[in-house]
A and B are shown apart, each in its own frame.
Chain A
Amino acid sequence: MTILELPSTTPALTLNQVDIRYGERAAIANASLSVAGGELMALVGPSGCGKTSLLTAINRMTDTIPGCRVTGSILVGDRDVLAVSDLAALRREVGMVFQQPNPFPLSVVDNLRFPLAEHGIPRHERNARAEAALRDVGLWDEVADRLTTPALSLSGGQQQRLCIARALILEPRLLLLDEPCSALDPVASEVVEKLIVSLKGRYTLLMVTHNLAQARRLADTVTVCWVDGQCGCVIESNRCTQIFEAPAHPITAAYCAGRTG
């Protein structure tokens, strides 16, 4: 396995020999990767190789799945995620956006004010922070005159950008993106992709995608997962250009060339 050369500073995210099991079944074993601060890493690989499991272990969403067990080491900065007792603090630090846009059945602005209220942000700050988050994702001009309309009345692309704004409003250091464009049409996908690119540098991003072209367009680094027997594994992790132009592993070469997977 080829692992990206670590930068001299502490990486924003480090996974070391992570195993994830659902009961007796191993979803992914011995997974290691490292993401530098402000960079976007794409996690690619065929269905069932454990990409989403890996992603959800980072903010401990795996805790909500009965029978799921995660071992190894997951460091966000220098904080050991698996030893964290304050999940609220962890999930403020690690935001997440899902495959299907999932705004709450509240108004546009309440989708943003509600998490702020839940995390104890004073009432007088909430509107300003909601506006800033909507501007951040390029949605303000589109919804400024209908902030109190139901979020579910927005288009799919707008809903997904609202979900990204909702994840950013708690000021995370790391943003997990689980196939954020796969449920969107090409036009909406392009808008969301541009937004994701604009977030690079300010946030560290880890994105699961099945779309290799998208990974190539957006990512600084790429980690390739594979299914070895019945269990997922990481086979290669490197700079994006290296993965697509000079992959070290033959499976990576075959997968990126579309010959397998």
Chain B
Amino acid sequence: MHPRDRWFAALGALPWLAVVVPMAMMAAALVSQGHGAISLNFLLEDPSRAGRAGGIASLLLSTAWILAVALAVAVPVGIGCAVYLSEEVLPGSAAEKRLGFVLDLLAATPSVVYGLFGYQFFAITLGFGFSILSGGLALSLMVLPLMIRSAEQALRAVPGSYRQASAALSITRWGWVRRILLPSAAQGIAVGIILSVGRALAETAVLLFTAGYVLRRPDSVFDSGRSLSVHIYDMAMNVPGGTERAAATALVLVTLLILINMVVRGLLRAPASLRQ
């Protein structure tokens, strides 16, 4: 082997050092710190004593509500925008470049900025206060660029031959979108939705500004609710003796994210017959 090629061979260790080792260290830290708190009751009980005792049931519920609000807004709006972009905006056109620039800018905007805007607009201006509604709406804004981009890519990947056949048969735009375009892209759109769920699930900054801290179970979307990610932050930073529960909650969150990733990978591996 040429001496210079030895350097290249040495690069083979880099992915393990940069990706696998930190992941393993993080998992080991979470397990060693949090395993003592993990039990079935941890998942089924509400927290007590500012989170030092009890479980995370109310937090799981609040997280699910916040996600539901975010997806209820982001999915239809995101898919609608993606259909418009893929059907009406030619790739490489000036409109596509401008819209693409704005979408990329929104995707790169720090989540704390979405939190600040969500607080000002949803909590103050619209009067929703610290609530699941404010948190869900702010999160929906944050995941929208990811949702639009992934759905747009899936829609643009639908074979042009379907569009050609549809035009030759004079299929209406609505019929084309409803019966051919969306079902053909369903797998890619689903992947985008699941990735958005993953991003929303892990989000903290936006929810600190909008959904609040309250530990109790929410009765409606107008109640404040604490998400898992906010709970981890609060237990680790503000509650003396909360480290073990923070790590245990993080373990639950990471497990949920791993499950979501597995679903995404399963969808991407789905055989052609299933995708049809």
Q: Out of B166, B170, B273, name the residue touching A87 (CB < 8 Å).
A: B170
Enumerate chain B residues within 8 angstroms of A215, measured Cβ to Cβ: none
Q: In the bound complex, do residue B273 and residue A105 qualify as a contact, i.e. CB atoms below 8 Å apart?
A: no
Enumerate chain B residues within 8 angstroms of A90, measured Cβ to Cβ: 170
Q: Out of A87, A98, A102, A114, name the residue touching B175 (CB < 8 Å).
A: A114
Known: A106-B179, A114-B175. A95 touches B168 (CB 8 A): yes
Q: Out of B90, B167, B169, B276, name the residue touching A118 (CB < 8 Å).
A: B169
Q: In the bound complex, do residue B164 and residue A98 qualify as a contact, i.e. CB atoms below 8 Å apart?
A: yes
Q: In the bound complex, do residue A105 and residue B168 qualify as a contact, i.e. CB atoms below 8 Å apart?
A: no
Distance, CA A153 to CA B275, complexed state (A): 12
Q: A-B contact count, CB below 8 Å?
A: 63
Q: In the bound complex, do residue B179 and residue A66 qualify as a contact, i.e. CB atoms below 8 Å apart?
A: no
Q: Is B16 part of the contact surface with A, judged by Cβ < 8 Å? A: no
Q: Is B162 part of the contact surface with A, judged by Cβ < 8 Å? A: yes
Enumerate chain B residues within 8 angstroms of A87, measured Cβ to Cβ: 170
Q: Is A191 part of the contact surface with B, judged by Cβ < 8 Å? A: no
Q: In the bound complex, do residue A150 and residue B169 qualify as a contact, i.e. CB atoms below 8 Å apart?
A: no
Q: In the bound complex, do residue B168 and residue A59 qualify as a contact, i.e. CB atoms below 8 Å apart?
A: yes
Known: A114-B175, A114-B179, A118-B175. A105 touches B276 (CB 8 A): yes
Q: In the bound complex, do residue A118 and residue B161 qualify as a contact, i.e. CB atoms below 8 Å apart?
A: no
Min CB distance, A89 to chain B, in Å?
8
Min CB distance, B161 to chain A, in Å?
4
Q: Is A64 part of the contact surface with B, judged by Cβ < 8 Å? A: yes
Q: Is A189 part of the contact surface with B, judged by Cβ < 8 Å? A: no
Please report whether the interface of chain B is mostly helix, strand, loop or mixed according to DSSP.
Answer: helix
Q: Is B183 part of the contact surface with A, judged by Cβ < 8 Å? A: yes
Closest chain A residue, CB of each to CB of B165: A102
Chain B interface size, as a band, is 20 to 34
Additional A-B contacts beyond A102-B164, A118-B175 (14; CB < 8 A): A61-B168, A91-B168, A92-B170, A98-B161, A102-B161, A104-B179, A105-B180, A106-B179, A114-B171, A150-B276, A152-B272, A153-B276, A166-B169, A167-B168
Q: In the bound complex, do residue B171 and residue A115 qualify as a contact, i.e. CB atoms below 8 Å apart?
A: yes
List residues 150-173 of chain B with CB under 8 A from any CB of chain A: 159, 161-162, 164-172
Q: Out of B90, B164, B171, B184, name the residue touching A105 (CB < 8 Å).
A: B184
Enumerate chain A residues within 8 angstroms of B90, measured Cβ to Cβ: 66
Q: Is A28 part of the contact surface with B, judged by Cβ < 8 Å? A: no
Known: A66-B90, A150-B276. A96 touches B168 (CB 8 A): yes
Enumerate chain B residues within 8 angstroms of A152, measured Cβ to Cβ: 272, 276
Enumerate chain B residues within 8 angstroms of A106, measured Cβ to Cβ: 179-180
A–B Cβ pairs within 8 angstroms, 25 of them: A61-B168, A64-B167, A87-B170, A91-B167, A92-B170, A96-B168, A98-B164, A98-B165, A98-B168, A100-B161, A102-B165, A104-B165, A104-B166, A104-B180, A105-B180, A105-B184, A105-B276, A106-B180, A114-B175, A118-B170, A118-B171, A152-B276, A153-B273, A153-B276, A166-B169
